[in-house]
Amino acid sequence: MADKLEFKKGDFVVYPAHGVGRIEGIDEFSIGEQTVMLYSIAFEQDKMMLKVPVAKAKGAGLRKLSSKDRIKEALSTLQGRSKVRRIMWSRRAQEYESKINSGDPVSIAEVVRDLHRSSNQPEQSYSERQIYQSALARLARELAAIEKIDQERATTKLETVLTKEREEAAA
């Protein structure tokens, strides 16, 4: 097969619309006269298996885990001031979903930062909370895979970065 294999079985990868998954295998399927190589990717958090053609993996946005530098950049993004644009919620929600589905940890960190609420701030709406939780979980899964810790510890680390910055800004 002419397709170059960029990933191997056991590799953690990021698929933009679903987050972190693990390559479970590389399968060959014959359809008529053609043979197609597919990555089988397991997303444990969603209890889902995805098959992506090797030839189209890059075009679909499948990538390796972020570098430690990119994650540091995402963590420093969490520490910045939240930037909430004064536009209708439905439009903002679309922008947040788009950033989450980009798969870029810095964009996802922007969503987490902008939707984070400390105890002294007004309550979030249900949809704000849903988007916040989705972004936080997506970022935590990648951080967990990179630092080889569980998702709960990664979430705690992200929340600590968020609250530490807010407390310092208030002081």
pLDDT digits (tens, 9 = 90+) for 72-120: 999 999 998 888 788 999 999 999 999 999 999 999 999 999 999 876 7
Query: What pLDDT shows up at residue 165?
Result: 56
Q: 170 pLDDT band (50/70/90 cuts)?
A: low
CA neighbours closer than 13 Å in the CB half-sphere of residue 120:
4
Give 97 or 45, the one with higher predicted confidence: 97
In angstroms, the CA 58 to CA 37 distance is 14
- Check pLDDT > 60 for residue 3: no
Mean pLDDT of 15-19: 91
CA neighbours closer than 13 Å in the CB half-sphere of residue 76:
6
Give 97 or 2, the one with higher predicted confidence: 97
Mean pLDDT of 53-82: 93
In angstroms, the CA 24 to CA 72 distance is 28
Mean pLDDT of 54-64: 93
Pick the range with the lowest mean pLDDT from 54-68, 132-146, 153-167.
153-167
CA angle 9, 14, 17 (to 5 degrees): 130
Four-CA torsion 18, 164, 89, 74, nearest 10 degrees: -40
**Structure-token pair, residue 70:** 């990119």
